[in-house]
A and B are shown apart, each in its own frame.
Chain A
Amino acid sequence: MSGFLTVLVIVLIFVVIFQIAKASEYVSILKGEKKARQQSNRINGFLMIVFLVLGLFGAYYCNDVLKDKLGPGAASVQGEGIDTLIAVTLAITGFVCVVTQVLLFWFAFKFQEKEGRNAFYFPHNSKLEVIWTVIPAIALTILVAFGLKHWFAITSDAPKDAMVVEVTGKQFNWLVRYPGKDGQLGSKKFKLISDVNSNPVGQDWEDGLNKDDFMSNEIHLVVGKPVKFIIGSRDVIHDVGLPQFRMKMDAVPGIPTTLWITPKYTTTDMRAKTENPDFVFELSCDQMCGAGHFSMRAVIVVETQQEFDAWAAKQKSQYELANASATPAPAAGADSTASKAVAIAK
């Protein structure tokens, strides 16, 4: 019923607007086309200035309301450089945006049709054209130079002492594997994957390096210590998105990728900084991967080395989990997580 009423009201508004529009056409015939044209030019010219002023104010207001929702800035060393680059780019493009928009709407207002005004025949001017080719080119070169410098810094090889975490995407959750005490990940094969036999990434049990690798639902990182993620997928393309660390890398089946960061603050630090006791770092999937894409979330805990060691010591290796129980325990299988995703949706 209320739906019907809404439609009725909308239709009524349409009819009213249409009648006004129709009437204004007749009025303009009565008044004479010239007069009507003058009037509509005055109104639209005035609206140009109104829009400009409201637009500039609106952009300011929007920033005022939303800037606090952005969080406290990058939480990784690499991300800080990205934030700086964003600030420089914002300064340059923001300046250009304001200047050109002001000129656009100001010109539109100022040079609206007036009786007696003659347009100025001005087909080209080489000097002006050279100026506004060269200046953007220089500005862009500067941005490219700064950008690439940082790009090469963050895409360089991770430091030798970086800790290693393997992250594998699957529909619809993340499989996190640590190398264990030996610091080396054991080999894996996708044909060995078996959710029922507790081998979700397909570790090769023949490989001794696999014996101490352990898996976890959460990602634990050490503050101040570089970490290298080895990223893969076992089904479709996913993407490891680390919004607070300003970093991102696709998880592609068959083609391992990597990224590395140095976390700057612990989760506890961030809770204080954001004044939000529930704050957590999150790993989001940033590549469309199916119906549960939006639920591919993993929590990242950044802590001190001590806390990390204590946590790591408590973890059971996947080898133990897979080979201990005689009757295979059903681990988090593809189907059960998919239904979980849908359950979250509801």
Chain B
Amino acid sequence: MSNEATLHSHQEVHGSLEHDQHGNGHDGHEHHGTFISKYVFSMDHKMIAKQFLITGIVWAIIGAFFSVLFRLQLGFPDTSFPWLSSILGHWAENGHIKPEAYYALVTMHGTILVFFVLTAGLSGTFSNFLIPLQVGARDMASPFMNMLSYWFFFIASLVMMASLFVQTGPASGGWTAYPPLSALGDASIGSKIGMDLWITSMALFVVSQLLGGLNYISTILNMRTKGMSMTKMPLTIWAFFFTAVLGVLSFPVLLSGFILLLFDRHAGTSFYLSDIFVAGKALSNEGGSAILYQHLFWFLGHPEVYIIVLPAMGIVSEVLAINSRKPIFGYLAMIGSLFAICILAFLVWAHHMFVTGLNPFLGAFFVLLTLLIAVPSAIKVFNWLTTIWRGNINFTPGALFSIGFVSTFISGGLTGIWLGNSSIDIHLHDTYFVIAHFHIVMGVSAFFGMFAGIYHWFPKMYGRFLNNTLGYIHFWITLCGAYLIFWPMHYEGLAGMPRRYYDYSTWESFKQFAGLNHFISIVVIMVFATQLLFVFNFFYSIFKGRKLTIANPWKATTLEWTTPIHAGHGNWPGEVPEVHRWPYDYSKDGVDFIPQTVPIGPNESEH
């Protein structure tokens, strides 16, 4: 990346910003913008980040609440909860959730958390917030597209929300929405209008992801400030970069899969349908392949899990280094493993399909490539461990959640090695073992990464701190709770207990886990309550939190802390600072930290 190009684009931003501020009659000057232009249709990446975050939090509460509801069924199959009938109406008669409602809740829980919370709420928030601030840009490459990205997400959210209230209920075929179940309204009540709304919402969501992703990539490639070469970028930015690349390359494939599904549903095509007898008659469709959809789905689906976890990895790397007062260990190896994960993520999708009748020879390649992806994951873990080794760790809530992330990423990543080996997967596929695996490695870890990010950058977002004590309570209960919930599930899976079952009491092979399910459900309720404590802390602290009095509270080296406490649109009131060094000069030559903006001294070696 030549400096010239960087400089040039830098001037362009300046120019376009000027235009924004003075040329736009109805918008007025940014700093005295109307409420609408400042808080609603804002083009400031910082405001858009907060919009993503708050929308994500709202969805997280809904999605998590759904899990409480269906865990009530699993944990207390014989107890009647009259209030369920009050909120769910005919979906829960006599205080018991019906199977149809159970599957709708499970499906919505998965969709909401995977896409709306851990994709939009995590990458959407932090890519938006940190990319311009940390690379030294005044905003995204296209602030307008960026704004559209949020509003497409918002409309997708509205459509999904609406689907909860239609008469036949929302989609209920699982977050993976496999046809023919998802294609045939006659096969499942959730595959009626609810499924159309689901597909519409997801299509809008894909548009939102593409608008966002293209913006993140072009901003990172073109709009870095002077001196910010690619290898001087913080690992957060590298992680967001690879996340965006994964999304831009794989979401369109998912969209194509959805469009074919829509055709099968309404246009009489047979992409996924063949030899089907449903509702008392044989359908005319022949020659389609239900497995084709799974290929299209998992071609996104696997990269998607890394879309979720890479931003968390980036955030954790940054927060751990800062709070250990040490450089991240193996910066280049960290980038290298992110890169390897990004490539391999596209080559392992069929490990979700070992038991579909996939050619065993083909399956063997997917075993090999899947276990290969564990190598870069292992490198990252060892590098994090070495980062805190001989550090001087300050346990901020952000640091605690980062340590928690490393713990859960280890626990959940190791079970991936079990599942990636097809011979073992043939037993464990679609059992609670898989539930345990991906909730620990993706669900809990990604949430921990997100919490680390929120606690760490909250002062930059709102000029106030979150309450620390509540943060500590939040962390310790959540960490213990997560393990109590998901660790024992491995045993259920080893016994072959299938996932997505409404009731196990008639099964001689699985009913011995009734007591365990009861226990898990109780912990779920307590952990859920603790998350509400966090939500309260979040909104309370926006208005009443302890005020930030210095610009750089964590003594960090990166550029976002060189902006004023309440940075306006454009981020830096004066020139964008120039960068002279990598972002990890902590405790170098006995100096606690050296900001990126400080030139390399005459006798100083670059890292």
CB contact between B374 and one of A55, A136, A148 (< 8 Å): that residue: A136
Q: Is the CB of B498 within 8 A of A284?
A: yes
Q: Chain A residue with minimal CB distance to B495?
A: A70
Given A254-B274, A346-B96, residue A121 in contact with residue B587 (CB < 8 A) = yes
Q: Is the CB of A62 within 8 A of B533?
A: no
Q: Is the CB of A119 within 8 A of B487?
A: no
Q: Is the CB of A57 closer than 8 A to any CB of chain B?
A: no
Taking CB atoms and an 8 Å cut-off, the chain B residues in 484-515 that contact chain A are 484, 487-488, 491, 494-498, 500-504, 506-510, 512-513
A residues near B325, Cβ cutoff 8 Å: 119
Q: Chain A residue with minimal CB distance to B480?
A: A51
Q: Is the CB of B597 closer than 8 A to any CB of chain A?
A: no
Q: Is the CB of B379 within 8 A of A133?
A: yes
Q: Is the CB of B329 within 8 A of A123?
A: yes
Given A119-B391, A120-B391, residue A294 in contact with residue B501 (CB < 8 A) = yes
CB contact between A89 and one of B280, B357, B386, B418 (< 8 Å): that residue: B418
Q: Is the CB of A332 closer than 8 A to any CB of chain B?
A: no
Q: Is the CB of A96 within 8 A of B414?
A: yes
CB contact between B423 and one of A151, A250, A282 (< 8 Å): that residue: A151
Nearest-neighbour CB distance to chain A for B73, whole angstroms, equals 10
Q: Is the CB of B178 within 8 A of A17?
A: no
Q: Chain A residue with minimal CB distance to B422?
A: A151
Q: Is the CB of B491 within 8 A of A69?
A: yes
Nearest-neighbour CB distance to chain B for A243, whole angstroms, equals 3
A residues near B357, Cβ cutoff 8 Å: 249-250, 252, 255, 257
**0/1 string, B546-559, CB within 8 A of A gives 1:** 10000000000000
How distant is the Cα of A25 from the Cα of B470 in the complex, in angstroms? 10
Given A119-B587, A122-B390, A291-B99, residue A89 in contact with residue B424 (CB < 8 A) = yes
Nearest-neighbour CB distance to chain B for A259, whole angstroms, equals 9
Q: Is the CB of B375 within 8 A of A89?
A: no
How distant is the Cα of A92 from the Cα of B415 in the complex, in angstroms? 11
Q: Interface stretch among A211-219, A230-238, A309-317, A318-326?
A: A230-238
Q: Is the CB of A85 within 8 A of B421?
A: yes
B residues near A86, Cβ cutoff 8 Å: 418, 424, 427, 494
Q: Is the CB of B288 within 8 A of A119?
A: no
A residues near B173, Cβ cutoff 8 Å: 288, 290
Q: Interface stretch among A101-109, A159-167, A176-184?
A: A101-109
Q: Chain A residue with minimal CB distance to B501?
A: A294
Q: Is the CB of B275 closer than 8 A to any CB of chain A?
A: yes
B residues near A287, Cβ cutoff 8 Å: 178, 430
B residues near A63, Cβ cutoff 8 Å: 491
B residues near A133, Cβ cutoff 8 Å: 375, 378-379
Q: Chain A residue with minimal CB distance to B289?
A: A255
Q: Chain A residue with minimal CB distance to B365?
A: A148
CB contact between B467 and one of A22, A43, A236 (< 8 Å): that residue: A22
B residues near A121, Cβ cutoff 8 Å: 326-327, 586-589
Nearest-neighbour CB distance to chain A for B317, whole angstroms, equals 13
How distant is the Cα of A133 from the Cα of B473 in the complex, in angstroms? 37
Number of B interface residues at 8 Å Cβ cutoff, please give it: 133
Given A25-B468, A235-B276, residue A152 in contact with residue B360 (CB < 8 A) = yes
Q: Chain A residue with minimal CB distance to B508?
A: A280
Q: Is the CB of A132 within 8 A of B382?
A: yes
Q: Is the CB of B144 closer than 8 A to any CB of chain A?
A: no
Q: Is the CB of A82 within 8 A of B426?
A: yes
Q: Chain B residue with minimal CB distance to A54?
A: B480
Q: Is the CB of A82 within 8 A of B424?
A: yes
CB contact between A119 and one of B103, B326, B506 (< 8 Å): that residue: B326
CB contact between A40 and one of B356, B406, B472, B495 (< 8 Å): that residue: B472
CB contact between A253 and one of B275, B393, B423 (< 8 Å): that residue: B275
How distant is the Cα of A56 from the Cα of B386 in the complex, in angstroms? 22
Q: Is the CB of A304 closer than 8 A to any CB of chain B?
A: no
A residues near B506, Cβ cutoff 8 Å: 295, 297, 344
Nearest-neighbour CB distance to chain A for B576, whole angstroms, equals 26
Nearest-neighbour CB distance to chain A for B386, whole angstroms, equals 7
Q: Is the CB of B277 within 8 A of A234?
A: yes
How distant is the Cα of A21 from the Cα of B429 in the complex, in angstroms? 44
Q: Is the CB of B83 closer than 8 A to any CB of chain A?
A: yes
Q: Is the CB of A128 closer than 8 A to any CB of chain B?
A: yes
**0/1 string, B157-178, CB within 8 A of A gives 1:** 0000000000000001110001
Q: Is the CB of A254 within 8 A of B356?
A: no
Taking CB atoms and an 8 Å cut-off, the chain B residues in 176-191 that contact chain A are 178-181, 184, 187-189
Q: Is the CB of B223 closer than 8 A to any CB of chain A?
A: no
Q: Is the CB of B469 within 8 A of A119?
A: no
Nearest-neighbour CB distance to chain A for B221, whole angstroms, equals 25
Nearest-neighbour CB distance to chain A for B411, whole angstroms, equals 6
How distant is the Cα of A45 from the Cα of B172 in the complex, in angstroms? 45
Q: Chain B residue with minimal CB distance to A289?
A: B181
Nearest-neighbour CB distance to chain B for A75, whole angstroms, equals 11
Q: Interface stretch among B39-47, B49-57, B330-338?
A: B330-338
Q: Is the CB of B391 within 8 A of A111?
A: yes
Given A51-B480, A120-B391, residue A234 in contact with residue B276 (CB < 8 A) = yes
A residues near B495, Cβ cutoff 8 Å: 69-71, 243
CB contact between A111 and one of B388, B480, B502, B588 (< 8 Å): that residue: B388
Given A248-B427, A288-B181, residue A254 in contact with residue B385 (CB < 8 A) = no
Nearest-neighbour CB distance to chain B for A200, whole angstroms, equals 9
Q: Is the CB of B431 closer than 8 A to any CB of chain A?
A: yes
Given A122-B386, A148-B367, A241-B430, residue A297 in contact with residue B533 (CB < 8 A) = no
CB contact between A14 and one of B280, B368, B400, B533 (< 8 Å): that residue: B533
How distant is the Cα of A69 from the Cα of B513 in the complex, in angstroms? 8
Q: Is the CB of B128 closer than 8 A to any CB of chain A?
A: no
Q: Chain A residue with minimal CB distance to B540?
A: A18
A residues near B187, Cβ cutoff 8 Å: 171, 235-236, 290
Q: Is the CB of A45 within 8 A of B587?
A: no
How distant is the Cα of A3 from the Cα of B85 in the complex, in angstroms? 14
What are 10 A-B interface contacts by the 8 Å CB criterion? A14-B536, A20-B469, A45-B395, A85-B421, A123-B330, A285-B498, A286-B431, A289-B181, A290-B173, A297-B507
A-binding residues in B (CB < 8 A): 83, 96, 98-100, 103, 172-174, 178-181, 184, 187-189, 273-280, 282, 286-291, 324-333, 355-357, 360, 363-364, 367-368, 371-372, 374-375, 378-379, 381-383, 385-386, 388-395, 400, 403, 406-407, 410-411, 414-415, 417-418, 421-424, 426-427, 429-431, 467-470, 472-473, 476, 479-480, 483-484, 487-488, 491, 494-498, 500-504, 506-510, 512-513, 516, 529, 532-533, 536-537, 546, 584, 586-590, 607
Can you add 20 more A-B contacts, CB < 8 Å, to A24-B468, A132-B378? A44-B395, A59-B487, A79-B427, A86-B427, A108-B403, A121-B326, A124-B333, A144-B368, A152-B364, A235-B278, A237-B290, A243-B497, A249-B357, A254-B288, A286-B431, A286-B498, A291-B103, A291-B172, A294-B500, A345-B502
Top 6 closest pairs, chain A to chain B, by CB: A243-B496, A254-B274, A257-B357, A155-B360, A147-B421, A44-B395
